[in-house]
């Protein structure tokens, strides 16, 4: 064991408590976590809105488990990670570590928590002071936690350097003498020095190239096994998560949309967003490759997230209203038209031609892949009117006409979690038995 003077993994439990694996609480429980940042205006800093960076996120991590949080940039992964470590104050919800609410820890218990939960950041250059030797930097947390014996610190550091694939004499070298991959090994050594129970690894390999990335992942996996550490692993790269994690939660705009064991979520992805991350094609017809991409590229602002399901403005499986009778490909082009206009993502040529007064019906249809007529008469009329409004430069009227013409349950109702298999849940209207919409089959 390393860092014995800073306590063992049992520290933090009550004396005499002998919790077994089966009745022990998960090491980490995150329940309905909210982190909202106020948007203020004027001298008095009046609150005019909130960035909902994390909105109702729940998951737990058991001992020795690697849990992945995956999602696009801005989905709230880092904010969640920082809240778990107590670096960010939650607006709502609760985080429990070993059964204890982190917000209620103080004194020695808080000190113990800070030792037991460690962070490994994306850029190892940020983790080291260029004027400190590696030995001093890796040993610094020991000193801060009261280990005054320099020889003992040195022995622990040398042992750790060897465990992470470096050598004892490296302790006397400076950070600039190491490559990116070696520096990430050093930051893992530094995170391990206090004998933690949880490592939060925030994109630990995304600054590294291919082979080095695999080596660092393998090292993290080794230390997890050797020291029985849990890892909260943050990544935007679903393939890295696949190789490394036991379970995963997929985040979109501050919410978890799907969660479960890695083999279930990644082999049988249920949420359209997870399917998109995996590069799959939602389609009944494998030749229909058209919508393997989101309806629009614009990720909405977390200060003003879409109503209902937050993914509906981009969702290639968005539920059509019962009254609409369109073949799937026509439904897709119509909703893509609607949400592209809503997002203000006008093709440049259209924007120019609108300004010049030169836009015509055929050009709009061509740019948006809209057929000359649509099978459903009501939708056809609505789309014609929207195109006419667009041609006259009245974008708002075009948007309004389309939202009246093709409303969807996905924008009206907030979806709830549905369990697919034990431990695998998805938050999507297509799995709600009360809504007449089956999940679409998909191919990769
Ligand atoms: N201090 C802050 N004040 C206001 N908004 C913030 C603050 N910190 C983060 N945000 C916003 O919260 C949202 C979530 O950010 P976060 O960094 O958690 O996402 P992420 O998924 O980790 O993305 P990335 O991989 O880019 O870091 C983003 O829209 C971000 O701009």
Output the CA–CA distances (angstroms, integers) from residue 406 to 305, 333, 392, 399, in the order listed: 20, 11, 21, 11
Which pLDDT band holds residue 22 (cuts at 50, 70, 90)?
low
Residue 76 Cα: closest atom of ligand 1 = 18
- So where are the chain's domains? 28-268, 320-405
Bridge partner list, 66: 231
**107-116, 292-301, 318-327, 421-430: segment of lowest average pLDDT:** 292-301
Q: Which of 297-301, 319-323, 331-335, 392-396 has the highest mean pLDDT?
A: 331-335
Rg value, the chain, Cα? 26
Calculate helix-pair angle for 395-405, 377-391, nearest 10 degrees: 170
Residue 71 Cα: closest atom of ligand 1 = 21
- Reply yes or no on whether the pLDDT at 90 is more than 80: yes
Q: Whose CA is nearest to atom 29 of ligand 1?
A: 74
28-268 adopts what CATH topology?
Answer: Rossmann fold (3.40.50)
Q: Tens of pLDDT along 172-204? A: 999 999 998 899 899 999 999 999 999 999 998
Mean pLDDT of 327-343: 93
Residue 254 Cα: closest atom of ligand 1 = 14
CA angle 230, 234, 236 (to 5 degrees): 150
Q: Whose CA is nearest to atom 8 of ligand 1?
A: 79
Has the ipTM of the complex gone over 0.95?
A: yes
Q: Whose CA is nearest to atom 17 of ligand 1?
A: 78
76 CA distance to ligand 1 centroid (A)?
6
Output the CA–CA distances (angstroms, integers) from residue 306 to 78, 217, 347, 439, in the order listed: 22, 36, 22, 21
Q: HSE, CB side, 13 Å, CA atoms: give it for residue 244.
A: 32
Question: The whole model's pTM is what?
Answer: 0.87
Question: C-alpha 431: how far from its chain's center?
Answer: 22
Which protein residues are within 6 Å of ligand 1, measured from CB? Answer: 37, 51, 53, 71, 73-79, 236, 302
Q: Tens of pLDDT along 349-374? A: 666 666 666 778 888 898 899 999 99
């Amino acid at each position: 064991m390393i860092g014995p003077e800073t306590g063992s993994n049992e520290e933090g439990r009550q004396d005499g408590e002998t919790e077994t694996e089966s009745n022990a609480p998960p090491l980490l429980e995150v329940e309905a976590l909210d982190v909202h940042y106020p948007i203020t205006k004027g001298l008095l800093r009046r609150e005019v809105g909130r960035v909902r960076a994390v909105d109702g996120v729940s998951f737990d991590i058991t001992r020795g488990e690697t849990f992945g949080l995956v999602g696009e940039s801005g989905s709230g992964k880092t904010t969640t990670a920082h809240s778990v470590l107590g670096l960010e104050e939650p607006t709502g919800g609760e985080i429990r570590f070993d059964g204890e609410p982190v917000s209620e820890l103080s004194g020695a218990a808080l000190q113990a928590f800070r030792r037991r939960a460690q962070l490994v950041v994306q850029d190892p250059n940020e983790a080291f002071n260029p004027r400190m030797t590696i030995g001093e930097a890796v040993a610094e947390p020991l000193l801060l936690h009261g280990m005054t014996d320099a020889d003992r610190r040195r022995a622990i550091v040398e042992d750790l350097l060897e465990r992470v694939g470096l050598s004892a004499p490296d302790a006397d070298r400076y950070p600039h003498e190491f490559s990116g991959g070696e520096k990430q090994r050093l930051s893992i050594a530094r995170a391990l020095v206090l004998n933690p129970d949880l490592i939060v690894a925030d994109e630990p390999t995304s600054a590294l190239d291919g082979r080095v990335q695999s080596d660092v992942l393998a090292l993290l996996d080794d230390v997890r096994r050797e020291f029985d550490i849990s890892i909260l692993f943050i990544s935007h790269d679903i393939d890295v998560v696949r190789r490394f994690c036991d379970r995963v939660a997929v985040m979109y705009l501050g919410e978890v949309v799907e969660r479960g064991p890695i083999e279930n979520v990644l082999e049988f992805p249920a949420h359209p967003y997870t399917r998109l991350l995996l590069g799959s094609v939602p389609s009944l017809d494998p030749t229909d490759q058209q919508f393997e991409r989101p309806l629009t590229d614009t990720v909405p602002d977390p200060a003003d997230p879409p109503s209902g399901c937050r993914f509906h403005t981009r969702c290639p499986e968005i539920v059509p209203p019962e009254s609409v009778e369109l073949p799937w490909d026509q439904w897709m082009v119509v909703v893509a038209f609607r949400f592209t206009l809503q997002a203000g993502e006008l093709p440049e040529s259209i924007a120019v031609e609108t300004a010049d007064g030169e836009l015509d019906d055929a050009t709009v249809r061509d740019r948006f892949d809209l057929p000359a007529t649509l099978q459903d008469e009501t939708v056809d009329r609505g789309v014609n009117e929207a195109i006419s409004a667009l041609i006259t430069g009245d974008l708002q009227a075009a948007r309004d006409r389309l939202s009246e013409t093709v409303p969807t349950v996905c924008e009206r109702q907030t979806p709830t979690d549905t369990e697919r298999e034990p431990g695998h849940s998805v938050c999507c209207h297509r799995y709600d038995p009360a809504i007449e919409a089956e999940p679409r089959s998909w191919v990769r």
